[in-house]
Amino acid sequence: MVVTVTGKGELSVPASSASISYSLSAVDSSAQGAVNQVKQKIANINSVILDYGITQGDILESQITVSPDAITQRLFVASTAQGFKLKNVDTVNDLISSLYSSGAEVVSQPLLNAENQGDLEQEAFDLALKDAKTQAGKIALKQLKFIRKIVFVSQESSGTTSTIASKDTDLETGGVFGTTFKLSKQVSVSYKMW
């Protein structure tokens, strides 16, 4: 007899860092004027993020691009994108507000990261496998059978870039909303029973 069960393993750990990216743009009657405005916004934002402990070397910048305004063709639009990794995730909400007030057009949702992500994935897999074995044990007991061996395992994951955050959990622990890294694994296991 072969029985297939599904097990779930889930971990929640505090995020150790957050990757943040944002875009800047400006419109002017001259291409150089638009570029200069973007450069000023870059300087404003860089001074703000340096206050949050980000070093100049940690800031990733794309080239400034300039193109004619699509509607009027008389104005020029300059734009660029930047990003960095923030280690103090407790300040992420304040920092995003500061980015907007310093000239950022769009700030992407921070991507939360956890240290030792491979170990966390293995731990979630082990929890899912244990859950599946518990379910199979209950079925075996009802059928008066013994679990002999695993004949098939498949798994699904929430992914390594999951940024799922629990508002209730964060607020209860006094943390900042969105600073919990949650990882889920689901396994489908087929057991041979005698």
Q: Are 21 and 108 in the same domain? A: yes
Q: Give the range of the structural domain holding residue 75, as residue numbers without chain letter.
A: 17-113
Q: Which residue has the tokens 């008389």?
A: 74
Task: Determine the Cα–Cα distance for residues 34 and 75; give it in Å rounded to an integer.
Answer: 9
CATH of the domain at 24: 3.30.70.2970
Please give the average per-residue pLDDT across 34-40, as a whole number: 97
Q: Are 127 and 168 in the same domain? A: yes
Please give the average per-residue pLDDT across 17-31, as a whole number: 94
**Would the pLDDT of 22 be above 60?**
yes
Structural domain count of the chain: 2
- Cα dist. 183→21, 80, 128, 131, 151 in Å? 22, 33, 12, 16, 26
pLDDT tens-digit series, residues 129-180? 999 999 999 999 999 999 889 999 998 876 544 444 444 444 444 444 467 7
- Characterise 95 by phi-psi region: left (phi > 0), alpha (psi -120 to 50), beta (else): alpha
**Would the pLDDT of 59 be above 90?**
yes
- Number of Cβ within 10 Å of residue 98's Cβ equals 18
Q: Are 184 and 127 in the same domain? A: yes
Contact (Cβ atoms closer than 8 angstroms) between residue 151 and residue 190: yes
65: pLDDT confidence band, cut at 50, 70 and 90?
very high
